[in-house]
Chains A and B, each alone.
Chain A
Amino acid sequence: MGAARDRVIDRDGFDRLIALLGELGYRTIGPVVRDGSIMHGEVSGTEDLPAGWHDIQAPGRYRLVHEGDGELFGWAVGPASWKSEFFKPTETLWRASLRDGAVAIDVPPREERPVAIVGARPCELTALDILDRVLAGGAVPDDRYAARRAGALIIAVECGRPAATCFCTSMGTGPGAEDGFDLALTELVGVDHRFYVRVGSTAGGELLERVDSRAAIEADWESRRTVVEGARARMGRTMETDGLAALLARNLEHPRWDDVAERCLSCGNCTLVCPTCFCADVKDVSEVDGTLERTRTWASCFDVDHSYLHGGPVRPTIATRYRQWLTHKLSTWWDQFDTSGCVGCGRCIAWCPVGIDITEEAAAIRGTDGAAAEVEPR
């Protein structure tokens, strides 16, 4: 049985919730259909959400199909992740003007409106938690990121229809939402269309009190459990995580790296869609009139210049760059941040143009642990 303060709302209640967020001054972002995908956009009500849309995902494949049902969250994840709301794809860090040997440095003011997220998946909650550690948990935290995160309100929605590319159960990040949310909804479709609501914070509780809801009863809890356990049972993929970090650390010379390099285009799509990738370029740009700008822009370890040191890149081949990405995500992330970097969202699998599957690559190395390519006696 759920918590005593679990409630149930209907679609009207959900509408009211979203409208309230706008009234409270939040910039409310939710899933919308755009360019044939589930993307993120401003929403003012449930009519903006992807009602009746379902996704079909596979390595290198993503399709949306529309069915007549009114299910709002009958899909897994799209290419967009919530990291772009807190860790901007590009950001001006400061501007300065150089005049007569003097420098005046100006830091742009922070945005005014906090962000409210409607429809964050459980895997994405973990991804944001991981990013909190990376960007705000160190000795020198990114203050702007931390402020945006602190001011945000998150309404999570649990998964009922995992995609074939999902493996959150292997990574311990879903399909149920544990924490990191203000409210967690589970969409229940059947005789009626309602949402099981769990409160995750004081702010979430206060928000919920302002919409019509009823107390959740045993049957509601059972329905929620059915959705979440059903999703768990239908999970599309698995990743064996037992000893995975150490496995990869001792297989840096495995022939699989050359094998995947023959397929990998080093395009960096995986890093773009990954909800935890955080690499960024910090660059100074100057104008003719003496104004300077320092910006921070998303970067990818697949870029050949990413590891540039005087002379050339440290990782000059696709094999070495793919190895960096995979070993960082599944192995050295633990050394650096005491957590895995992967949440099992499967985006990298779907959005890789050649369909490279992170779970398959890890399994292949596990299957031939210790393989080496070099010496061969006749």
Chain B
Amino acid sequence: MSGAVRDLLAGHGFLAGFPAEAVDLLAERGEIYTFRPGTLLFREGGKADYVYLITKGHVAIEVHAPALGPIVVETIDAGHVVGLSWAAPPFRYQFDARAMDDVEAVGLDSEGLRASLAQYPVFGFLFLDRLAAVTLERLQATRVRLLDLYGKSDAR
């Protein structure tokens, strides 16, 4: 565990208000990753073995289709989390995540994270509580976007 990882996590929006011991525990599972603009953090269909807490830059969640893709379905800023598919079966990424600019993130390995959450249920509850809040917010936002409130779109 490096101090750098711990510091990044301590200041990260997703973990705001987390007790210090919980942050330490997460830091043990974490590694700092950097992504050059345009590179993929992960691909649709890949094993969801990391969840990323973005500390710098912006990430685009994309779907690829022949002759159309990639289509950006959402953008995630620093201070937020990407790679939620780690949390539930089939434990595979359902979308691509691409660095829109220079991205820095703390990646937490899924298996280790899951083990820690199981080992320390109170901390586990805290973490999954945060995760549920993020997931709910995105779901609700997606439903509102489906309403196509602004009328006919010319984007395919």
| Nearest opposing residue in chain A for B33, CB measure | A377
Contact with A along B59-100 (1 / 0, CB 8 A): 000000111100000000000000000000000000000000
Look across to chain A and name the residue whose beta carbon is closest to the beta carbon of B34.
A378
Decide: B33 and A378 in contact? CB cutoff 8 A: yes
Residues of B31-72 whose CB lies within 8 A of A: 31-36, 39-41, 65-68
Pick the residue among A314, A373, A374, A375 that contacts B66 (CB under 8 A).
Answer: A314
How many of chain A's residues touch chain B, expressed as a range? 10 to 19
* Distance between Cα atoms of A310 and B68 in the complex (Å): 8
A-B contact count, CB below 8 Å?
A: 36
Interface residue ranges of A286-309 to B (CB < 8 Å): 307-309
A378 touches B67 (CB 8 A): no
User: Nearest 9 CB-CB pairs, A to B?
Assistant: A309-B67, A311-B67, A311-B68, A314-B66, A312-B67, A374-B39, A378-B32, A378-B34, A374-B40
Min CB gap A175→B, angstroms: 42
Shortest Cβ distance from residue A326 to the other chain B in the assembled complex, whole angstroms: 20
**25 interchain pairs (CB within 8 A)?**
A307-B67, A308-B67, A309-B67, A310-B67, A311-B65, A311-B68, A311-B156, A312-B67, A313-B67, A314-B66, A314-B67, A374-B39, A374-B40, A375-B33, A375-B41, A376-B34, A376-B36, A376-B39, A377-B31, A377-B32, A377-B33, A377-B34, A378-B32, A378-B33, A378-B104
Contacts of A378 in B (CB 8 A): 32-34, 104
**Chain A residue contacts of B32, Cβ below 8 A:** 377-378
Bound-state CA distance A312–B65 (Å) is 11
**CB of A197 to closest CB in B, whole Å:** 53
User: Which residues of chain B are near A314, meaning CB under 8 Å?
Assistant: 66-67
**A115-154 with Cβ < 8 A to chain B:** none
Extra contacts besides A308-B67, A311-B67, A375-B33 (4): CB < 8 Å: A375-B35, A376-B36, A377-B32, A378-B104
- Inside 8 A of A374's CB, which chain B residues have their CB? 35, 39-40
In whole angstroms, how far apart are the Cα atoms of A378 and B36 in the complex? 11
Q: How far is the CB of B12 from chain A (nearest CB, A)?
A: 17
In whole angstroms, how far apart are the Cα atoms of A305 and B32 in the complex?
A: 42
- Chain B residues within 8 Å of chain A by Cβ, number: 15
B residues in contact with A373, CB < 8 Å: 39
Chain A at the B interface: SS class: loop
Min CB gap A128→B, angstroms: 34
| CB nearest neighbor in B for A373 | B39
Is A376 a contact partner of B67 (Cβ separation < 8 A)?
A: no
**What 1/0 flags go to A307-331 for Cβ under 8 Å of B?**
1111111100000000000000000
Give the residue of B34, B36, B41, B68 whose beta carbon is less than 8 angstroms from that of A312. Answer: B68
| CA–CA, A370 and B113, complex, Å | 29
- In the complex, what distance in Å separates the CA atom of A249 from the CA atom of B36? 26
The complex places the Cα of A377 from the Cα of B33 at a distance, in Å, of 4
Write out the residue numbers on chain B whose beta carbons fall within 8 Å of the beta carbon of A313: 67
- Chain B residues with Cβ under 8 A from A309's Cβ? 66-67
Bound together, the chains give a CA A377 to CA B36 distance in angstroms of 11
| Chain A residues with CB under 8 A of B68 | 311-312
CA distance A308 to B41 in the complex (A): 29
Cβ distance B15 to chain A, nearest Cβ, rounded Å = 20
Q: How far is the CA of A375 from the CA of B103 in the complex (A)?
A: 11
Q: Which residue of A lies closest to B42 (CB)?
A: A375
Q: How many angstroms from the CA of A83 to the CA of B78 in the assembled complex?
A: 58
**Contacting residues, chain B, for A312 (C-beta < 8 A):** 67-68
Residues of A within 8 A of B39 (CB): 373-376
* A residues less than 8 Å from B35 (CB atoms): 374-376
For A311, the chain B residues whose CB sits under 8 A away are 65, 67-68, 156
Interface string of A337-378 (1 = CB under 8 A from B): 000000000000000000000000000000000000111111
Contacts of B67 in A (CB 8 A): 307-314
Chain B residues whose CB sits within 8 angstroms of the CB of A310 once the complex forms: 67
Question: For B33, B34, B66, which residue has the most chain A Cβ atoms within 10 angstroms?
Answer: B66
Chain A residues positioned under 8 Å from B34 (CB to CB): 376-378
Chain A residues near B33 (CB-CB < 8 A): 375-378
Closest A residue to B104 by beta carbon equals: A378
Interface core residue of A312, A375, A376, A377 (most chain B CB under 10 Å): A375
* CA gap between A377 and B30 in the complex, in Å: 11
* CB neighbours of B66 from chain A (8 A): 309, 314
Residue-wise interface mask of B (121-155) relative to A, using a CB-CB cutoff of 8 A (1 in contact, 0 not): 00000000000000000000000000000000000
Q: Which chain A residues border B31 with CB–CB below 8 Å?
A: 377
| B36 contacts across to A, CB distance below 8 A | 376
In the assembled complex, the CB of B57 is this many whole angstroms from the nearest CB of chain A, namely 13
Complex contacts, B65 vs chain A, CB 8 Å:
311
